[in-house]
Amino acid sequence: MVRTCARGTILFMQGDRADRFYVVLEGWVRLVRHTPDGNEVTVAVFGEGESLAEAAVLELATFPVEGQVVAPSRLLGVPGTSFRARLRENPDLCFNIMATLSRRLLFFLQRIEQLSTHSTLERTALFLLRLAREEQGRAIVDLPLDKALIAARLGMQPETLSRAFGKLRALGVKVEGERVTMEEIERLRQRFEGR
């Protein structure tokens, strides 16, 4: 069933029974883990074409995170019972799901590595480089999320992200609202991707 959701909609709460998973048709969904001491940790942010919560549905378990809609979105909700029935009938679908979950595991391993080994400046630059559209030696990035969510995604506070943007200014990076222009894209690639 396709569902249209406003920003701020809670798809599921941490601890709810995992009865369905979602495919983002349009918009953004943030997964948040609430810690026992009351903190909120952004685990991941999913955008158009990405699916979320399959593992919980496969386990017949509860959601280990909360799903929050962070931009106006359209989502396809897939009931767990029909999904599991399809998996039993279709080995190719099983392999596709295993591949998706394997890619996600690799993503989280890389994220842990980045948080452990890269400075906030490096994480910010690498994030921008991944999103860059190159045009004649320079690149433009239209930030897909608000800066607080980007900061959470990169494992830092919003003010730390602002400082990282400020330091990148010396390397030809200009931030104006939601648009980032990188005047010397090759210089940035050499410095941050060639570690």
Task: Count Cα neighbours of 189 within 13 Å in the Cβ-side half-sphere.
Answer: 11
* Nearest residue to 18 (alpha-carbon basis) of 2, 31, 5: 31
How many angstroms separate the CA atoms of 78 and 52, rounded?
10
CATH number (3.40.50.10190, 1.10.10.10, 2.120.10.30, 3.40.50.300) of 120-192 reads: 1.10.10.10
Q: E strands of 94-165, at which residues?
A: 133-135, 138-142
Q: Is this prediction's pTM over 0.85?
A: no
Identical topology for domains 2-103 and 120-192: no
As a whole number of angstroms, the distance between CA 116 and CA 109 comes to 11
Domain boundaries, the chain: 2-103, 120-192
How far is residue 161 CA from its own chain's centroid? 16
What is the structure's pLDDT at 184?
86
pLDDT (tens digit per residue) in 114-135: 888 899 999 999 999 988 888 7
pLDDT of residue 58: 86
Residue 110, pLDDT score: 86
Q: What is the pLDDT along the chain (195 residues), one digit of tens a residue?
A: 999 999 999 999 999 999 999 999 999 999 999 999 998 889 989 999 999 999 888 887 899 999 999 999 999 999 999 999 999 999 999 999 999 989 989 988 888 888 888 999 999 999 999 888 887 778 999 998 889 999 988 989 999 999 999 999 999 999 999 999 999 888 899 999 875
What confidence score (pLDDT) does residue 13 get? 97
Class of domain 2-103: mainly beta
Per-residue pLDDT tens digits for 95-112: 999 999 899 899 888 888
> What per-residue confidence (pLDDT) applies to 152?
87
